[in-house]
Structure formats: structure tokens, C-alpha cells
Structure 1
Amino acid sequence: MSTETAEATGPLPRPSRNTRPPTAQAALGVGVIVADERGRVLLGRHHSGTWELPGGKVDPTHESVAAAAVRELREETGLVVDESAVDVFAMVHDVIGGINRISMGALVHLGSGVPEVTEPHLISAWRWTAPEELPATLFDPSAQILAAWRPDLEVPHPPAHVLRISGRPDGPAAGG
């Protein structure tokens, strides 16, 4: 048996530790606070009865959090913003059913636009709401993101770890 034959039929090398996917233990999403010129935020009425921010999962296709925010906002409301207008301001972390849930808080200031119900099987209506008048029936991740954005509102929410990742909680459009 030649050396070449032995090498060709030997065991295949194991993938590098850097290329093997980790065991799934987390879910990554983004919640988008859309603020209008009057300071109101956009909330959607889910068929389950809760109110929620536009948002959803970050695609596992090398999509950035800001790109996911733009995509989810467009898919769910028909509103179009540029990725550069998105301020990712916080990471909120909690655990549900043994899975780490990581929700990124993103803020967009919108000068104009009318949200549409583009996913009627999920959301029945979109409404602009003053931050001081948030409904009590908020979707937990939305409540956590709103509380990270404006702690002064004292939004009731399940416990979560918050890591602020932006120096300006009101985003790039605030204050000029």
C-alpha cells in the first residue's frame, strides 16, 4: 500500500473549532422604536391582545441588527427608512424556557409616513401612542426595550439585563 493511498483513505480532519457552529442557546431579535415628529411611538395590536413594537428576528445571513430593523419595519408596516437612520441603543437579555433571548433596541425618528397593516394574520392595527400613555398590555420584549429607552416611564416588564450600547439614547436625529 502506498503512502498516497493510506492518506486518501484515512480519517478526515475535524473542522476547526472556529468553523464549527455552536450549540444553539440564544435567539437574537430587534425591536424598533419608531418615533414621529410629535414624540409618539408606533405600536401594533397583535391578535393575542398585546401591543408591540415593529421588529423580529435577525436573519442568520450576516444581516446586521440595523439592517434587520430596516427590513422588519418595511415588512411589518410598509415604512421605509435608511439603515443609517437606525440607532441601535441597547441590548436586552433575558431567559425564556432555557434559551437566552437577546433583543436589540433600535430607534428611528420618522418625519412622515403612514404605517400599513401588511401582516394582518399577526397585527390588526398600528397606532401612534404618547410614551406617557403606553398600554398596560405590552409584549414583554417590547416593554423591556421601551424601559431601556426611557427608564423614566417606569414601564412594567419582566426582569432583564440591559447593556446600553449608544451614547445618545435619543439617537442621531435628537437634538440636531
Structure 2
Amino acid sequence: MTTDSVNVPPRNTRPPLAQAALGVGVVVQDGEGRILLGRHHGGTWELPGGKVDPTHESVAAAAARELREETGLGVPVDAVTVFAMVHDVVGGINRISMGALVSVEAADPQVTEPHLIAAWRWTDPEDLPGPLFDPSAQILAVWRPDLGIGHPPAHHLRIAPPRDPGPTENS
């Protein structure tokens, strides 16, 4: 054993070199088939969502947490269907965006982060506003390929068919 290997932690406990960012975008569909989009102060429209916390949080738990934090809408984690992974590269960093789907019968989203989002709006998927935030466009294109949504190139992997998990109550 060399002197150098004495100070090196075992391979399974060493953190990997950071080279990716992991987030989730939540397609929230209401009883009329509309989806929820937020108008970001930067000028784009986006799905609720954000990063998956590095606390052993699952993607579904992150989706439910981000939805609650950004809109005030509460859904149980088991009402979240993670349906796809989208992968692109921005600035030399792999960006992994997970697509999640939840359904609510009716809901009144609140602007809880006014420094980021100016307004939430229920939108017919066939009449999407623009421009869309790139990761949101990529997730929506996997969710509904029939919509022909333009977006930057990305790889995608369908994890599960998107399904209607049924209405949930907001809290």
C-alpha cells in the first residue's frame, strides 16, 4: 500500500466529480385538460419545477415539493408520475430534466415566488404561449409529441407512459 492510498477514501464513499445538474419539470393538468405555465420575469413561460435536492430526495418528491413551493398546490408524492428523462448539455454541463405529470380537478395556483414568476396561467396545450423555457419545451415535447413543440436538441428516454393519475386535492 502506498502512502497516497492511505489518505484516499474508499471508492464507494468518494463523491463523483460534478458534471451534471438534475431537475424536474411538472406538467400539471386540470380537469379541462389545460396545463399550468408560469411567466418568468426573464420572458419565458415554464412548467413548475426545479432542482432535485441532494438529500436523497426522489424525483417524485422533488416534483411535489417544487409544485407546492412555487404555486401553493399540494399533491401527494404517490400522485406524481415520472414519465421521462431529457438530457442536453449547456455550458459543458449535462442537464438532466425529469418530466413529471400530476392531475388536479381544479386549482388556483398562487405566485409564491414573485421574484421569479410574474403569473401562473392555465393554458390549452394546443395554444402554448412563447417563448418556452428550453427544459419545459423539451419535457412538453416528450409528453405530447403531437404538438410539434420546437426546442433545442435533446436526448430523451421515456420512463413510463404518461397517465392520468386522477384528481388530487390541493392543500
Smaller-chain TM-score bracket: over 0.9
Q: Aligned equivalents of 1:23 and 1:171: distance in 2?
A: 38
Q: What residue number does 2:62 align with?
A: 68
Tell whether the 8 Å contact from 1:92 to 1:144 is kept in structure 2 after alignment.
yes
Give the TM-score taking structure 2 as reference length: 0.92
**With structure 1 as the length reference, what TM-score do the two structures score?**
0.90
Residue by residue over 1:68-92, the C-alpha shift from the partner in whole angstroms, topping out at 9 and shown as x without a partner, is 0000000000000000100000000
Letter in 2 for 1:70: A
Q: Spell out, residue by residue over 1:77-124, the C-alpha distance to the aligned partner (whole angstroms, 9 max, x if none).
A: 000000010000000000000000000000000112210000000000
Q: Check the 8 A contact 1:89/1:171 in 2, yes or no.
A: no
Structure 1 residue 152 and structure 2 residue 146: aligned? yes
Which one-letter code corresponds to 2:162 in the other structure?
P
2:132 paired residue number: 138
Percent identity reads 74
1:106 to 100, 104, 111: 100
Moved over 3 A (4+): 171-174
Structure 2 gap segments, 5+ residues each:
none
CA RMSD of aligned residues (A): 1.5
**Partner residue, 1:8:** none
- Matching residue of 1:43: 37
Alpha-carbon offset, residue 139 of structure 1: 0.3
Could you tell me which residue of structure 2 aligns to residue 163 of structure 1?
Answer: 157
**8 A contact 2:24–2:99 mirrored in 1:** yes
Runs of at least 5 residues in structure 1 that lack an aligned partner in the other structure: 1-10
Q: Which residue of 1 aligns with 2:10?
A: 16
The one-letter amino acid of 1:159's match is P
Post-superposition offset of 1:13: 4.6
User: Is the counterpart of residue 172 in structure 1 residue 165 in structure 2?
Assistant: yes
- The CA deviation at 1:169 is 1.8
| 2:59 partner amino acid | V
Q: Is structure 2 residue 94 aligned with structure 1 residue 94?
A: no
